[in-house]
Amino acid sequence: MTDFFLGREETLAPADAAVALITVGHGRYLMQLRDQKPGIFYPGHWGVFGGAIDMGETPEQALSRELQEELGLATSLVRYFTAFTIDFSYAGLGPVERHYYEAQIGDPDLARLRLGEGREMRVFSATELLSMPRVVPYDSLAIWMHVTRDSIRLSR
């Protein structure tokens, strides 16, 4: 199978996105194995669910739409967690925002989900995820931040 991650020729279009850190029980995260196809960021990598914010949508509206499309998950039980700004000025573009929300589901909810996008979905412990080589880097950072949120303190 062709690996479309590096050495590709198609143009990528970065955009603002809303995504969810979906926890199942304590310390376990539901992840999507991204399709191995050209034209997407981090093909063949494990990443969180969510996607681009369409014109006129709020991040919360985009996340709700994306979770419905990708998992059949209708939830309003999301809470803002953090956001990353990624500056694409080096490519003649501006900054894009990746908004992270957290959502909790239980094992019965997990059994009802259907994968509508991507190659696979699977639940991992944070330790497993943070040790794996093909996890979307900014998603990995967000998961690390989520896991360590109670031990991060401001020192001035």
pLDDT of 154 strictly over 80: no
In a domain, 114, yes or no: yes
pLDDT of 12 strictly over 90: no
pTM, two decimals, is: 0.92
Give the range of the structural domain holding residue 89, as residue numbers without chain letter: 17-147
In a domain, 156, yes or no: no
Answer whether 80's CB lies under 8 Å from 101's CB. Answer: yes
Q: Strand pairing partners for 46? A: 33, 135
What total of structural domains would you count in the chain?
A: 1
Report which of residues 89 and 1 the model is more confident about: 89
pLDDT of 136 strictly over 70: yes
Q: Give the per-residue pLDDT at 118.
A: 94
- Tokens for 49, please give them: 């669910």
Closest Cα partner for 42 from 5, 3, 96? 5
pLDDT of 59 strictly over 80: yes
Q: For residue 54, name the pLDDT band (cuts at 50, 70, 90).
A: very high
CATH number of the domain residue 89 falls in: 3.90.79.10
Answer whether 51's CB lies under 8 Å from 19's CB. Answer: yes
Closest Cα partner for 22 from 84, 66, 86, 85? 66
Q: Give the per-residue pLDDT at 39.
A: 84
Answer whether 43's CB lies under 8 Å from 2's CB. Answer: no
